[in-house]
Amino acid sequence: MSAADVPRSSPEEPWPVRVVSQKVGAWIARLGWIWVDGQVAQISRRPGAATVFLTLRDPSADISFTVTTNRDVLDSGAPELAPGARVVLHAKPDFYAGRGTLSLRADEIRQVGLGELLARLEKLKKLLAAEGLFDRARKRRPPFLPTRIGLITGRASAAERDVLTNARRRWPAVEFRTVNVAVQGPTAVPQIIDALRALEADESVDVIVIARGGGGIEDLLPFSDEALCRAVFACRTPVVSAIGHETDTPLLDFVADVRASTPTDAAKRLVPDLAEEVRAIGQARSRLERAVRNLVDREEHRLTGLRSRPVLARPELMVDQRGGEVAQLRQRAGRCLQHRLGAAENDLRHTLARLRALSPAATLERGYAIVQRADGHVVRAAAEVTKGDPLRVRLADGELSATVDG
């Protein structure tokens, strides 16, 4: 029967609860047998009972299923199974119509060994690296002196004590907002992600620290979870990873903006040492004072040297020297002018003598006269006049009027 042929419910013809339960059970049964990966959150073994109940939880989300299996199946596949272990099981979803609950019925359970876990982590590491979650170019530097530090760690843990104590020893005024979460087990990853989101939303938090003490590889598995790594990568606030000891390297160390080898090292990276900063400020002030003193001494010596120069020691000397030079120049100018005037006077006298020598007046001085007709024409020959023509005779001293008689 196709989906179009299935009768639909309506207000006039509703389905009874048993019909809904039957249809849900039928749809779930179509999924068949599947392989499921998860973390054991709880094991319930009842004495004398052949059935064992497990609570299987997703390591990265707050989702769990109830798993039922036979005691022989559990003993043969995972005889030393304990809460917190990772398992892979072959199961079939079952819908219990009486209570309307969904569970898994397993016929094979395999506990994931350490080698397989490491292989999965290495595969996940390559995947995250290929996507750029480990890229150094995107890592942000925490502020030099954060206003408030967000701390995600276990309640009353040694890691919390190390971070708070060492940070406040270095900078007593530092402020923390601490969020206590489970740092191992099936609830660790969801709680850490929720705490990370809460601190990310707090605008007063300048840097976030995720801290945990040392432990085995299985204990540190939550800090290599893919969902947690992606949540840290998506944070806009710088994140510091302080997980375990120096040799512990969960995937969170590669995604975080700063990796601290230990929680104590994280405290040293978060805030500066007040004593060292005060000492550095004192040294800087001393260097500045020495530099200022040296500068003042150099300038004072330079001013002393300038003042000792004659031009500043006896400024009137320069005026006297320039006055002597001006007097010498005036004397030279006077002599030059007198020489020029004397030479010009001699030239003028000679020119005047030549002019006088060539002037007609000098000729008249010697007794000669100039005869001119009435029209001013100078008479040079007797043929130029006729009898009765009036003439003008110019002498050295005065003029005469004459008439030609013949």
| Chain segment 11-22, per-residue pLDDT in tens | 888 888 888 888
Number of domains in the chain: 4
Asked if residue 1 is part of any domain, the answer here is no
pLDDT for 3? 44
pLDDT for 4? 44
Kindly state whether residues 186 and 211 are assigned to the same domain: yes
Higher pLDDT, 342 or 308: 342
| Chain segment 58-105, per-residue pLDDT in tens | 876 778 889 999 988 888 888 888 887 888 889 999 888 778 888 899
pLDDT for 164? 93
pLDDT for 401? 86
Higher pLDDT, 239 or 3: 239
pLDDT above 70 (res 115): no
pLDDT above 90 (res 197): yes
pLDDT for 180? 94
| Chain segment 318-335, per-residue pLDDT in tens | 788 888 899 999 999 999
pLDDT for 1? 44
Task: Answer whether 0.85 is exceeded by the pTM.
Answer: no
Point out the least confidently predicted range of 271-280, 286-295, 320-329, 382-391.
Answer: 382-391
Task: Write down the mean pLDDT value for the chain.
Answer: 86
Asked if residue 319 is part of any domain, the answer here is no
Kindly state whether residues 161 and 247 are assigned to the same domain: yes
Kindly state whether residues 19 and 144 are assigned to the same domain: no
Kindly state whether residues 19 and 71 are assigned to the same domain: yes
Asked if residue 286 is part of any domain, the answer here is yes
Contacts of 315 (CB under 8 A, 6+ apart): none
Asked if residue 105 is part of any domain, the answer here is yes
pLDDT for 201? 93
Kindly state whether residues 162 and 259 are assigned to the same domain: yes
| Chain segment 288-310, per-residue pLDDT in tens | 999 999 999 999 999 888 888 77
Asked if residue 118 is part of any domain, the answer here is no
Q: Which domain range does residue 374 map to?
A: 362-403
Burial of 257: CB neighbours in 10 Å, binned 0-12, 13-18, 19+: buried
* Residue 29: pLDDT band with limits 50, 70, 90: confident
CATH code of the domain containing 78: 2.40.50.140
Asked if residue 180 is part of any domain, the answer here is yes
Kindly state whether residues 281 and 252 are assigned to the same domain: no
